[in-house]
Amino acid sequence: MPQVFLTSQNVDNSTDRMRRLMETAKQHSPTAARIINYAFAYGCGFNFQSVDKAYGAYDKTRNMVYLNPNYSDAELLSTLVHESRHALQPKSFESAKYDIRTNLQWVRATEADAMAHECAAAHEMKKDLPQVWNQFKQKHAGIAAAYESFADQPDKALGEAFKAWHDNQKYVSKYDQNTLDQLAFDAGRSGFDFLKNSIPGEEIGEQICKKDGKSYLEKGFMTSARALIVDERTVWPKVIRVKQAAIEATNHRDSSDEELYTRAPDGTVVSRRTAKSSEKQQSVDNAAGKKCAGLSGSPSDIKNRLTAIKRRTSGR
């Protein structure tokens, strides 16, 4: 880790509070120290700005971390780690070039990774600054609980927090909807390669979930249903809209949605691949059913005649 000392170079001089937050976070959490030092070493700037109700933001084009000055120090100490972590994530991803599943997973992974590190830092601050952990736990109970149950194995705990991020369907859906709205917006102005590339889920995990150069995420998670569920009511219609937009823009059919699962309001989870093949089967059955409305005889008799009808139909 490069030894970094804060200078006034990329911290606004008027903000003693920022300097204090950075020093406090580093002093009470090794995770915070590592992340803030690296972000600083890579030229990231830090400033205050209120961005709606958000606690903070990371501006990729300016390489700037912004914290909302209207929140308490306890809230901003963990937010500082979250936003600084975004500064260390890969920046070369050009969303419009990638398929729907890659986009959803990429955005989810960057957010889950920033949240997992925020959680780790807040947990490390727990002893000296209990209010930091308490406020984090209040806002993200599931992630906090997942981390705490493996707190004696920090790398495993980081992975558990990352996975738990995916479980809050309402929260995850907001990110999914933004991702898909952006893609729908890009469809008309994007080039010929709109949605045409793909990054396997495992590779996204390897690129983003890194700690000291090693992946902290266990293999298999990124291709599991838990990582790939989208909300049927709020997200799925937007998936269909983006698919349609790609067909209209470049006549490209994105089938990456078959890798997803949908969760219905009653909690039922359905693999879209299975759903698609059963929809196809049903339409074949329906078509056959119409043609054979007047058939009678033993079941095997009808089956034989059905097969003959199907053969004739497809032979035409």
Binding residues for Zn ion (CB under 5 A): 111, 114
User: In terms of CB distance, is 114 or 120 closer to Zn ion?
Assistant: 114
Closest to 74 (Cα-Cα) out of 131, 11, 150, 145: 131
User: In terms of CB distance, is 171 or 221 closer to Zn ion?
Assistant: 171
User: In terms of CB distance, is 150 or 175 closer to Zn ion?
Assistant: 175
Residue number of the CB atom closest to Zn ion? 114
SS3 of 75-107: the string is HHHHHHHHHHHHHHCCCCCCHHHECHHHHHHHH
User: In terms of CB distance, is 161 or 187 closer to Zn ion?
Assistant: 161
At its nearest, how many Å lie between Zn ion and the CB of residue 311?
A: 57
Closest to 104 (Cα-Cα) out of 170, 179, 163: 179
Q: How many Cα atoms sit within 13 Å of 273 on the Cβ side?
A: 6
At its nearest, how many Å lie between Zn ion and the CB of residue 306?
A: 56
User: In terms of CB distance, is 143 or 245 closer to Zn ion?
Assistant: 143
- Residue 112, Cβ neighbours under 10 Å: how many? 25
At its nearest, how many Å lie between Zn ion and the CB of residue 243?
A: 27
The answer to whether 35 touches 63, Cβ cutoff 8 Å, is: no
Position 314: which residue type? S
Could you tell me how far CA 43 lies from the centroid of its own chain? 26
